Amino acid sequence: MSAPINVAVLGFGMSATVFHIPFIKALPEHFNLTTIFERSATETKSAARDAFPEVKVVNTLDAVLSDPSIQLVFVSTINDTHFDYSKAALNAGKHVVVEKPLTPTSTEAHELAKLAKEKNLVLAVYQNRRWDSDYLTVKKLMKQGVFGELSEFQSNFDRFKGEAATSKLWKEQDLPGSGSAYDLGSHLIDQILELFGKPQKVTGIIRNSRAVGNPNVADSFLIHLHYDASDVAGRKLPLIATARGSILSHVSPQLRYTIKGTSASFVKHGLDIQEDQLKAGAASAVTKSDFGVEPASLAGQLYTPGKVETITSEAGSYRSWFENVADAIRSGDRNRLIVTPEQAALTIEIIEAATQSSREGRTIDL
């Protein structure tokens, strides 16, 4: 077996400590965490060093990029640094994993995708929610053809937070790539695009619904992706696929999916549990047999004429994303990536179109 891939992680916030490092450490056959870039670290004070004393901690990007032993750089920093850090790492000959969204603008995203292709390097975007339990279940039902012709597809990521956040302050600031459409909407849009491809039109309502904090930073979104009937796409009916995120929803468990077709409808409540498991158990959670297995009480309901069927959810598997990245790097075939940078760039295009739609009060043709 090939030696594990030497990894440096940029940043030491929630993205790094909850979503990335636990998997890096839990998959030693694939990854070897050698370096953490913690900008605030000093010789005597470092949260990263306290947590991982065996790992080298640096406080400059150059210390990472100039190290020839580092093969893969995880960009787990705030959204408006993604472009510069990823571009610098690619130009230094490193493979790159970047937290979603890939970049604040589609122009930047396409530039990074082009650069990675030119240098034959892997640029992997952490659209991990393609491996959510609920989404894998929906994909399975669609593959089985249970819905007939789809008419409506609604994907939700609702929460209740009545006050502005007291932590993660950058998410509450008017910075490039901030706001819930980028933070949560990017996941839902990515899922919709994988299922249905690029839409013909986009309508968006993106707003600060709580009227707290910076009024320019959206905390809620409603984005309609319009798909025409198409013989080429095998779609006999026009379809509206909706990505929706409300921050003022008291529903428990929260509504996740409402899907309507000519043969069946599906309703699912409850969010994938992997994030909560990671927050509670970090690296140890990943190796447990129940990781990604949601409670039976959250199973969705499939409605057909005269019948209601409870659908047991598939197990979620974020580790599959990491295994796919390792495979693409080791094989030397970047085309093995399941989530491509070009797909991630299209997600940003949809967010930009939805933002324009919301601002101008009209539907945007793509």
Q: Do 359 and 224 fall within a single domain?
A: yes
pTM of the model: 0.94
Are 134 and 120 within one domain?
Answer: no
Question: Is residue 264 domain-resident?
Answer: yes
Query: Which strands sit side by side in the sheet containing 255-261, from one edge to the other?
Result: 307-311, 300-304, 265-269, 255-261, 150-156, 239-245, 220-227, 201-207, 364-365
pLDDT of res. 161: 87
How many CB atoms within 10 Å of residue 312? 10
Tell me, what CATH number does 283's domain have? 3.30.360.10
pLDDT above 60 for 75? yes
pLDDT > 70? residue 136: yes
Does 254 map to a domain? Answer: yes
One-letter amino acid at 286 equals V
Domain that holds residue 177: 129-321+349-365
Q: Is 39 within 8 Å of 4 (Cβ atoms)?
A: no
Q: Could you say which of 111, 126, 141 is where a domain stops?
A: 126
Q: In the sheet where 56-58 sits, what is the strand order?
A: 56-58, 31-37, 5-10, 72-75, 95-99, 123-126
307 lies in a domain? yes
Is residue 199 in some structural domain? yes
190-210 average pLDDT score? 97
Q: Are strands 201-207 and 220-227 parallel, antiparallel or unpaired?
A: antiparallel
Same domain, 159 and 299: yes
361: its two tokens: 């009060």
Element (DSSP H or E) covering residue 245: strand 239-245
Please check whether residues 67 and 211 belong to one and the same domain: no
Arithmetic mean of pLDDT, 355-361: 97
Residues with Cβ within 8 Å of residue 84, at least 6 apart in sequence: none
- Could you tell me if 112 and 168 lie in one domain? no
| CA nearest to 280, candidates 290, 265, 267 | 290
pLDDT at residue number 164: 65
Say yes or no: 111 and 141 in one domain: no
Instruction: Let me know if residue 331 belongs to a domain.
Output: no
Which of 7-11, 42-46, 208-212, 343-347 shows the lowest per-residue confidence on average (mean pLDDT)? Answer: 208-212
- Report the pLDDT value the prediction gives residue 184, as an integer from 0 to 100: 95
Q: What is the CATH number of the domain that holds 74?
A: 3.40.50.720
Q: Are strands 95-99 and 72-75 parallel, antiparallel or unpaired?
A: parallel
pLDDT of residue 217: 86
Instruction: Let me know whether 232 and 357 are in one domain.
Output: yes
Is the domain of 71 the same as that of 157?
no
Report how far apart, in Å, the C-alpha atoms of 65 and of each of 80, 87, 196 are: 19, 11, 38
200 and 303 share a domain? yes
Residue 192 lies in a domain: yes
Per-residue pLDDT, averaged over 312-319, amounts to 97
Same domain, 189 and 315: yes
Q: Side-chain half-sphere of 122: how many Cα atoms within 13 Å?
A: 28
Q: What percent of the chain has pLDDT over 90?
A: 87
Average pLDDT on 199-223 reads 92
Q: Evaluate the omega torsion of the peptide bond into residue 104 and state whether it is cis, within 30 degrees of 0.
A: no
Total count of domains within the chain: 2
Are residues 203 and 233 located together in one domain of the fold?
yes
Q: Identify whether 311 is part of a domain.
A: yes
Residue 340 lies in a domain: no
Burial degree of 117 (CB within 10 A; 0-12, 13-18, 19+): middle
pLDDT of 287 strictly over 90 = no
**Model confidence at 176, in pLDDT bands (50, 70, 90)?**
confident
Residue finishing a domain among 126, 154, 179: 126
Q: Are residues 112 and 190 in the same domain?
A: no
Q: Give the chain's mean pLDDT.
A: 94
Residue finishing a domain among 81, 97, 126: 126
Confidence of residue 323 (pLDDT cuts 50, 70, 90): very high
Instruction: State both tokens at 112.
Output: 């990074």
